[in-house]
Structure 1
C-alpha cells in the first residue's frame, strides 16, 4: 500500500523532498502557496549568482543544464527548479498555501488558505526561510532614524545609487551586495565578527575544492554548527575588492544619532540606508499549533525528523543534517535521508 505524504512548499526543498519520497514508496502531494514552483529564487536580488558551480547544484538524478563549470544566475536556478517540478506532474498544486497543521489521529490535518483540507500520516515542511528575514537587535542602530532594509528587499544597485550605505553582515550575501553597491554608492561593510573565507585564494569553477566540499557535505555534522555563518566562498575577487577598500570594512557601529552612525574609532558618518544582510529564520507559521520553536526560531528535530511529532519532518533547515543543508546541493541529500527514515516507519 502506498502511503500519502504531503510536502508543504514547492521550492528547492519541496521539490527535492517530493522526488525522494516518491523514490521511497510514498505518494507525495506538494502544496505550494504561490503560482510558481521556483521557491524564493525569483525574489532574490537581480545579480545573484550561486557561489558554487552548476555541477555542484543538481538535484539527485537531474543534472543542471548547460556548462557544468559556470556559476548559475538567479534566473537559471529558477528555470531549473520549474523544469524539475514539471516532472512531478499533478503531484504539485500551486495556489494552496497551508495555513495550519494539526494532529488528526495518527496523522495530520492540513488546512489551506482557500479552506481546503488534506489528511496524511506524513508531512514534510519545506517552506524555506525567505519569508522570515532575520532582523537582529543591533544596539548601535537603536537610535538610527534613516532607512533600514533587509537584503530580502534589495534588488539592484540602482535602488541605492549615490547614497551612503552600510551593509551589515559577514556572509556571502553581505559581501556580494556590498561589493556590487560599491560601484555606485559610498559603502561600508559592518561586521560583528571578522570575515572568514573558505579558501586562501579565489576558487575557480574547475577546482578540487568542490569535490572536497562535496565530501564534507556528506557528513551528518550540521547540528554541531548551530546557526553560524557559512564562510565566504570567493569566486569573483571579493577578497581583493575588500582589501582595496571597495567597500570599506569596519566593526559594528556603537551608537546612532538620527542618521549619523558612530564607530568604535570615534568616526561619525551620515548614512542614508542600512542594509541588513543578516540571514533568515525558518518560515513555519503553519506549524504553530503542533510545535514550539527554540530561541533561534528553529523546531526541535534530529537530522530533519521531528523530535516530538512522529511523521513530521523538515527539509531545508540550516545545518539540519550537514553543513550545506539549506543549499540547493544540500536539500537533495537531506531529502533522501529524511525519506529513507520515514519509509522505515511507514512501509
Structure 2
C-alpha cells in the first residue's frame, strides 16, 4: 500500500513555500512537488532587471524577512536567493523535477502522477502553481506574415540583443513599462497601448504607496466574501523617472497596432512602419490542465474556487491565484496570509 500524505502541494515557488510553512507549523505530513530543478517558481524566468514594486518590508514570506534595508526594492536575483534560503531554513520537503501530469480522485483520496512516472497519494491537494506559467499572446491580423521577431515578455532578459533595433512593446502594465523604458536606452521603442499608461506615485506623504494600502486595509480586503475576486489594477507604479521618460518619448506611446505586414506593423491611421521586434507584455493565463479530469476547471480552464477553496472538488485548494482573496494574493506579501487561511480550511476538511 502506497503512503498516503495529508496533502500534496503542487508547485514549489513562493506560494508552495508559504503553504509548506503553514502545513509544517500544524504538524501535517506533506510533500511539495516542484517541476523544475529548484523551488523558485517563475522568478528565474523573469527579465534580469526586474524590481519588486513593493519594498522589502512588505514583501516577505511568513516567518522570515527579506534581509537588508526594509525600504529598498529588491531585484530579481535577491528574491531568488531569498527563496533558496527560505526552503533551507525551514527544511521544507521539496521534491524537484516532478512536473505533475494528472490529478485523479478515487473516493476520499487523490492520486497525483508526474511526467517522470512517479505516483503520490494524498487526502488533500494544494495547487500552488500560481497564475504566471502560461504566457498569453493575442492573435493579431497578419501576424503569420511578419518576418521580424515576436516575443512574449517572459522571453525577455535584457536590452543588449535589441540594440539599434526598432521595437514595439504591446501592453501598459508594470512589466511593459519597465521593459520599454529599459529598451528605450538602446533602441527606438514604442509602447502600443489601448489607453495611455496610468502612473501611480511610488511614495505618498513620505511613505511607500504600499504602506497606505495596508493602513486603509485594501491589501487584505476580502473581496471574495462578496462573491468576486479582487480587482486587478491597470496603474503602473513609478519606480523612478517613469513620468519624465514617457513625457520625453523614451519610449513613446502609440495607439494599439491594428495588424502586421511582412516587414512591420500597421498603426490605426493606416501608417505602415518597419519593425524588427514586437514584445507582447500581455500577461499570463493559468495552466491547470492536469486538474481538468476531476471537474475542477470551467470551460476556459480557470479554477472553480472561492478564496482558494475548490467549489467542485472537496479537498482541493489553491494558493497564489491572482485576486484569490485580495489584491496581493499573487505576490510575495500575499501568499502567506492566503496559505494560512487555506491550511486552516484544509485541516477542518481532514478532521
What is the CA–CA distance in structure 1 between the aligned matches of 2:231 and 2:137, rounded to whole Å?
14
What is the CA–CA distance in structure 2 between the aligned matches of 1:30 and 1:261, rounded to whole Å?
45
What is the CA–CA distance in structure 2 between the aligned matches of 1:104 and 1:206, rounded to whole Å?
56
Is 2:346 the partner of 1:342? yes
Deviates more, 1:20-29 or 1:149-158: 20-29
Deviation, structure 1 residue 263? 1.3
Match for residue 253 of structure 2 among 241, 249, 253? 249
Alignment root-mean-square deviation, CA: 2.2
What is the CA–CA distance in structure 1 between the aligned matches of 2:88 and 2:136, rounded to whole Å?
32
**Matching residue of 1:92:** 94
* TM-score, normalised via structure 1 length: 0.92
Consecutive unaligned residues of structure 2, counting only runs of 5 or more, are none
Deviates more, 1:248-257 or 1:20-29: 20-29
Match for residue 146 of structure 2 among 144, 147, 153? 144
Quickly say closer, same or farther: Cα 1:296–1:140, change in 2 above 3 A. Answer: farther
* TM-score, normalised via structure 2 length: 0.91
Quickly say closer, same or farther: Cα 1:206–1:309, change in 2 above 3 A. Answer: farther
Deviation, structure 1 residue 141? 4.6
Contact 2:142 2:261 in 1 (8 A): no
Consecutive unaligned residues of structure 1, counting only runs of 5 or more, are none
Is 2:30 the partner of 1:57? no
Quickly say closer, same or farther: Cα 1:206–1:107, change in 2 above 3 A. Answer: farther
Contact 1:203 1:234 in 2 (8 A): no
What is the CA–CA distance in structure 1 between the aligned matches of 2:108 and 2:260, rounded to whole Å?
54
SS at match of 1:217: helix
Quickly say closer, same or farther: Cα 1:60–1:156, change in 2 above 3 A. Answer: same
**Matching residue of 1:196:** 198
**Matching residue of 2:85:** 83
**Matching residue of 2:306:** 302
Runs of 4+ deviating beyond 6 Å = none
Deviates more, 1:111-120 or 1:134-143: 134-143
Deviation, structure 1 residue 297? 3.8
Match for residue 293 of structure 1 among 292, 297, 306? 297
What is the CA–CA distance in structure 1 between the aligned matches of 2:58 and 2:167, rounded to whole Å?
33
Contact 1:315 1:334 in 2 (8 A): yes
